[in-house]
A = this chain, B = another copy of it.
Amino acid sequence: MSVSEKGRILSIQSHVSFGYVGGKAATFPLQCLGFDVDVVNSVQFSNHSGYGRFGGTKTSAVELTSIFDTLELNELLEPSRLLTGYVPNAEALTSVAEVATKLKQQRPEIIYMLDPVMGDSGRLYVAPDVIPVYRRLLPLSTIISPNWFEVETLTNVPLKDMPSLRRALTILHTDYKVPNVTISSVPLQPWLIDAVPPYLRPASDNPHLLCISSSSTYKSSNGHLSSVHAQSVPLLPGYFSGVGDLFSAMIVGHFDPSDTSIPTGKTALSHAVSYALTKTHAVLVATHEYSEKLPLEDRLPTDDEQDKIEPMRKIRRMRGRELRLIQSMDILTGKGPGGLRHMEPWTNFWE
């Protein structure tokens, strides 16, 4: 496929002036893959909210609808892929849902990557009334990329063992008709380590996360609901923002069910996730290495009490941990060194 035929992605998510989260974490990487990206900003903020202080405004539902309606009227609403991320409230998300519904009706073959950005580690960071809107959106999606907490929120299933994980995936695939689910950054709790096949377990005692993909579009040879793949990745210390946004962008950018070169035993999803995982982790390593070399004042450890007294502590830490996306262009275009972190079949997942 030549670069000029990669097509258009309509990306609807947040915009920050400084740093790389939301659209700023997705657009450049997708452009590096050769996509024209139609960018609609759900907010325009100075920086991401993790800094504690941010300026700017949210785009209202009326403003979003004005943009979508004019694009349609002008016959410019013709993406082959749709990527939606952070949208701050139910009104704005409803406007996004309308355009997603319309696109799906007009072009059923559209690849829709839905990242149901709602929260992390037990904390919602959107208004709770977005949850039902996301549930209504799920059946339109081609792929969803919730984190662990968002799976629990969408399915109402607390994930505490293999039966609950299977139940949650069953709800997503069956009740919500989502063909492809990927869950990144799953904490590798003891029950999960016990459940994964030995070849998916971390190679060292250092902390690792598990990445899971589940595709119901490929009939599993033994008749199970979906084909599940996974891989464990070393956990880098500290928190980096925008990682999930980059990961979702790389999945939708690499997902290609018509690709005849996908190796046997892989699904189109697991193949795309292998690329996304490899590139995202490499960017993260570059970012981590960069931040480690900063002066001490730019990397003071998290200390909620001290951070509260002295807001610049946290702000400087956040600044030093902004993704090194621009400096990772070779990684993003795929010209960098290093092999692929392959998602491997989790053959006994459903047993």
Q: List residues of chain A with CB under 8 Å of any chain B CB.
A: 3-4, 6, 10, 15, 17-19, 24, 28, 31-32, 34-36, 38-41, 44-47, 51, 53-57, 59, 63, 66-71, 73-76, 290, 312, 315-316, 319, 324, 326-327, 329
B63 touches A44 (CB 8 A): yes
Instruction: Using known A-B contacts A39-B15, A327-B34, determine if residue A44 contacts B47 with beta carbons closer than 8 Å.
Output: no
CB neighbours (8 Å) of A31 from chain B are 28, 326, 329
16 A-B pairs whose Cβ atoms sit less than 8 Å apart in the complex: A4-B324, A4-B327, A10-B17, A17-B38, A18-B74, A31-B326, A31-B329, A46-B66, A46-B70, A47-B76, A53-B70, A56-B66, A74-B315, A74-B319, A75-B319, A76-B315
Closest to A76 in B: B18
> Nearest CB to that of A290 among chain B residues?
B4
Please, which residues of chain B bring their CB within 8 A of the CB of A3? 326-327, 329
Are the CB atoms of B63 and A56 closer together than 8 Å?
yes
In the complex, which residues of chain B have a beta carbon less than 8 angstroms from the beta carbon of A316?
Answer: 75
A41 surroundings in chain B (CB, below 8 A): 15, 41, 44
Given known pairs A35-B326, A319-B76, the reply for A71 and B18 (CB within 8 Å) is yes
Whether B47 pairs with A17 at a CB distance below 8 angstroms is no
The 9 A-B residue pairs with the shortest CB-CB distance in the complex, in nearest-first order: A55-B70, A55-B66, A46-B70, A18-B76, A46-B67, A4-B327, A55-B67, A46-B71, A56-B67
Could you tell me if B44 and A59 are in contact, using CB atoms closer than 8 angstroms?
A: yes
Complex interface: chain B residues within 8 A of A35 (CB): 326
* A310 CB, nearest partner CB in chain B, Å: 13
Q: Known contacts A41-B44, A70-B46, A75-B319: does B55 contact A326 (CB below 8 Å)? A: no
List 15 additional A-B contacts (Cβ < 8 Å) besides A41-B41, A47-B71.
A3-B326, A15-B39, A17-B40, A17-B67, A18-B76, A19-B76, A44-B44, A44-B67, A45-B67, A46-B74, A53-B73, A55-B68, A56-B70, A74-B319, A75-B312
Give A60 Cβ to nearest chain B Cβ, in Å.
9
Quick one: which of B19, B47, B68, B75 contacts A70, CB cutoff 8 A? B47
What CA separation (Å) do A75 and B298 show in the bound complex? 12
Once bound together, how far apart are the Cα atoms of A47 and B44, in whole Å?
A: 18
**What residues of B have a CB within 8 angstroms of the CB of A15 in the complex?**
15, 39, 41
Establish whether residues A326 and B75, one from each chain, have CB atoms under 8 Å apart when the complex forms: no
Chain B residues within an 8 Å CB radius of A19: 76
Considering the chains assembled together, what is the distance between the CA atoms of A323 and B249 in angstroms? 23
CB distance from A172 to the nearest CB of B (A): 30
Identify the closest chain B residue to A19 (Cβ): B76
Most chain B Cβ neighbours within 10 Å, of A55, A56, A71, A290: A55
